[in-house]
Amino acid sequence: MATGALVKSTKLCLYTLHGAKATASQCRTFTTQLTDQQQSIQDLCRRFSKKNLRPNASKLDLAGRFPFDEIKKLTDLGLMGANVDEEYGGLGLDYLSLAIAVEELSRGCASTGMIVSIHNFLYANLVNEKGTEEQKEQFLRDFTKGSIGCFSLSEPGAGSDAASINTKAIQDGDYWVLKGKKSWVSSAIEGSATTVFATFDPDLRHKGIACFLVPLDAEGVFRGKKEPIIGVRAVTACDLTLEDVRIPKSYMVGEPGDGFKIAMEQLDQGRIGIAAHAVGIAQAALDTAINYAKERVAFGKSLTRLPSVKDRLTDMSILVETARLLTYRAATNVSTKNSAMAKYVSGRNAAAVADHCVQILGGRGLSTDYDAERHFRDARGTQIYGGVTDIQKRLIGHYLLKENDAL
């Protein structure tokens, strides 16, 4: 099927609920059986990944070069607005379809998959679901056509403890003035706009936080240098310094005090994206290990005939499938516990699978001429960004006991 036909088919094959298109959050029935729509997305992204991403993934990683051409092609396919309503140029897909897309793209190139994940789950979905009509016209429509969106929450002194952010929001008539510094803002160098979470009353802690939409070319916005990171090196992450950035009141999302809730709800989505990203990396590591084991001869036989290698491949497969199932469940029933569980298990399993992959390749697993070491580096980050594994365990335990109290 031609690419254009696939995209058209994707647009036509949408979820319906009571005769109307359901929102992503309304699709809550978990099943291992993919719909025709989801299979179309999976097939499309798998073929795209194999043809356009996998051949260049190592070059992009080694050069630390943003995948402009690849993102442009994905934009043309509509995948930079996967969950966005059709009236704003999106495909109107459900979260599981987007998670499947992120998984398949990350399988070919972890950096590209991460860029797609952050743009959709943390930026475009936020504006689509919580923005006003005016905000959608200015901060969403173009972001399904090539503009890239970012998410600015972390700060030098506030990572996991988001309630402690120090970026100030000062009201001045019909404007807000933003002052502060944000850290680890992915795609900020190439991005056109970002959400910014700032406090208008530090004494109120999380109740004093608001969410703003900020054009990255606004006066007073300064991008820092690209941060060198261990993996997903084609992703650009940098600091953003906000020096008296003056924006209209209409750029605030929701009401003053809604910011913390918006951030936490968006992170629930974002963790699904990272979990899917981790599953894609793990699957890529398993692919690499199987292909190498089939070709490599040791002790007069293929590595696949050695019990130790078979055991590793079996363990890797189980780890991948476990993570995938938890991720799919989280995507079909979004909750803090489900997304935290999916991210925790997927990140941990991806790291373990990538470690097995390096071990199977032996000395070649340490060489940049092979993909194993890149998978190893890429997998490690999935346990950090979007909320470290320790925090995910705390969230899981909290909601587990909360649910038990309700019994």
Question: Which contiguous run of DSSP H or E holds residue 194?
Answer: strand 193-199
Of residues 88 and 14, more confidently modeled: 88
Examine the fold and report which residue of 217, 244, 260 is the final residue of a domain before the chain moves on: 260
How confident is the model over 107-120, as a mean pLDDT? 98
Domain C-terminal end among 100, 116, 144: 144
Q: What is the DSSP string of 332-379?
A: HS--HHHHHHHHHHHHHHHHHHHHHHHHHHGGGGGSTTSSHHHHHHHH
Which has more confidence, 37 or 19? 37
Same domain, 294 and 210: no
pLDDT (average), residues 110-121: 98
What tokens were used for 206?
């999380």
**Are 153 and 226 contained in the same domain?**
yes
Helix (H) or strand (E) holding 322: helix 307-332
* The pLDDT of residue 25: 41
Cα 396 to chain centroid, rounded: 20
- The CA angle 352-393-182, to the nearest 5 degrees, is 90
167 shares its domain with 249 = yes
The mean predicted confidence, pLDDT, of the chain is 91
Contacts of 390 by beta carbon, 8 Å cutoff, 6+ apart: none
Q: For the residues 378-384, what does the mean pLDDT come to?
A: 96
Q: Calculate helix-pair angle for 95-108, 110-117, nearest 10 degrees.
A: 160
- Are residues 135 and 232 located together in one domain of the fold? no
- The CATH number given to whatever domain includes residue 119 is 1.10.540.10
The whole-angstrom separation of Cα 178 and Cα 163 is 17
Tell whether 335 and 297 lie within a shared domain: yes
Say if residue 134's pLDDT is above 60: yes
pLDDT band at 193 (very low <50, low <70, confident <90, very high): very high
**Number of structural domains in the chain:** 3
In this structure, the answer to whether residues 161 and 247 fall within a common structural domain is: yes
The answer to whether the beta carbons of residues 12 and 310 sit under 8 Å apart is no
Query: Coil, strand, or helix at residue 66?
Result: coil
For residues 203-222, average pLDDT: 96
Mean pLDDT throughout 290-299?
A: 90
Mean pLDDT of the region 37-52: 97
Q: Tell me what pLDDT residue 31 has.
A: 65
Percentage of the residues of the chain whose pLDDT score is greater than 70: 91
* CA pair distance 126, 386, nearest whole angstrom: 16
Give alpha helix (H) positions in 237-299: 259-295
At 375, which CATH number?
A: 1.20.140.10
From residue 142, give the alpha-carbon distance in Å to each of 115, 169, 196.
17, 26, 19
Is 155 in the same domain as 140? no
Q: Are residues 329 and 393 in the same domain?
A: yes
Burial 127-139 (b: 16+ CB within 10 A, else e): bbbbbeeebbebb
- For residue 12, give its domain range: 3-144
- Residue 255 CA, distance from chain mean position: 26
Here the CATH number for the domain that contains residue 155 is 2.40.110.10
The tokens of 369 are what? 């001429």
For tokens 């495909």, the residue is 91
Per-residue pLDDT for 301 more than 90? no
Across-strand partners of 302?
297
Question: What band does 406 get if pLDDT is binned at 50, 70 and 90?
Answer: low
Domain end position, chosen among 103, 118, 144? 144
Mean pLDDT of 63-83: 97
In degrees and rounded to multiples of 5, residue 231 shows phi and psi of -135, -175
